[in-house]
Amino acid sequence: MARLLHNLLLFTVRLALKIRVFGYWSLIYSYCALCTCIALLKLWWNIILRPSKTFQWGIRETPPACLNDTSLGTHCYVRIKESGLRFHYVAAGERGKPLMLFLHGFPEFWFSWRHQLREFKSEFRVVAVDMRGYGESDVPASADSYRLDYLLTDVKDIVEYLGYNRCFLVGHDWGGIISWLFAIHYPEMVTKLIVLNCPHPSVFTEYCLRSPSQLLKSSYIFFFQLPRFPEFMLSINDFKALKCLFTSRSTGIGRKGCWLTSEDMEAYLYVFSQPGALTGALNYYRNIFSFLPLTQQDVKSPVLLLWGERDAFLELDMAETCRLYIKNHFRLNIISGASHWLQQDQPDIVNTLIWTFLKEGEGRKTYRN
């Protein structure tokens, strides 16, 4: 009898877990369907208003001159033996100086760190990477190739290939997510962690689950789960949606900071108009639910978190909550009037705050080594 009751209880628990998982995924795909319907309505409206321009897009054949600006550094390539992938990066500063590694977000590439490459090459070996699936780095075709463990291994392998066993890690947006998790899983390899407009992954998970406003701001994540259709919507009308991310009044750069020049914008359009470029970038999102919920792990490295007050994608309250997951020195700077694209929007302020953080306390001795 006791065995029967035990088996019945075990069956009930397993059934409850399956129902919970089913409900979780049903909610995700229902919301995904809603986002798709909204996107289709927008597409239909564009076709009615401007039918000749809606389906206009094409590959940019010639890179703009700014991508070959020698003041930013040297273009280099590395093929990682374990994954077999070739990575592109831009490096400046003397070899042997402490490594400062920059990881970009979506939809960006190494060029988003142009202001920081110029600024920090005097004291560091600065390296801005095109992450897996972006820019001139290899673009694996399978969505499964963008799993979290692969992305973290990429960073580890690149640091070691460059001849270092630790670095100052700087990440923005998706690069911020990877930076947080790299500092958690490889604490011995991160001297100091600098994150721009990206909360600790556990904070993001908690806010999405209990904050309707954050869930609404993150609705694009659900839309990006669809195959092919998001790529189509981002590229129609000569990549209008992509342009709007960087230039619109609600989400764009330049309300109180640096404007994105027409040549800068062409650099982005050149990169993301190449075959497969949007798919590689979107595949990060197509694996996001395999990352979440993450175990609540603490960061042991000193952390600087920079946050644009005008971020249209993330709740400002998340920034302060990150303090709960940091077991070392933590500095938070919220920059008034700045957008999500912080390092391009307010480069002078960002660079000054990073310098201050690098030279604080014991960190000053470390970064000189």
Active-site residues: which are they?
173, 285, 340
Between the alpha carbon of residue 130 and those of residues 85, 111, 277, 282, 338, the distances in Å are 12, 9, 12, 15, 24
Amino acid making up residue 150: Y
Distant-in-sequence, close-in-space partners of 130: CB < 8 Å, separation ≥ 6: 87, 88, 89, 104, 109, 110, 136, 137
Euclidean distance between CA atoms 284 and 151, whole angstroms: 9
Euclidean distance between CA atoms 11 and 17, whole angstroms: 10
Distant-in-sequence, close-in-space partners of 149: CB < 8 Å, separation ≥ 6: none
Residue of 115, 33, 29, 34 whose CA lies nearest to 72: 115
Euclidean distance between CA atoms 196 and 173, whole angstroms: 7
Distance of CA 101 to the CA centre of its chain: 14
Euclidean distance between CA atoms 252 and 232, whole angstroms: 21
Residues in the chain: 369
Residue of 14, 40, 4 whose CA lies nearest to 223: 40
Distance of CA 353 to the CA centre of its chain: 20
Distance of CA 262 to the CA centre of its chain: 23
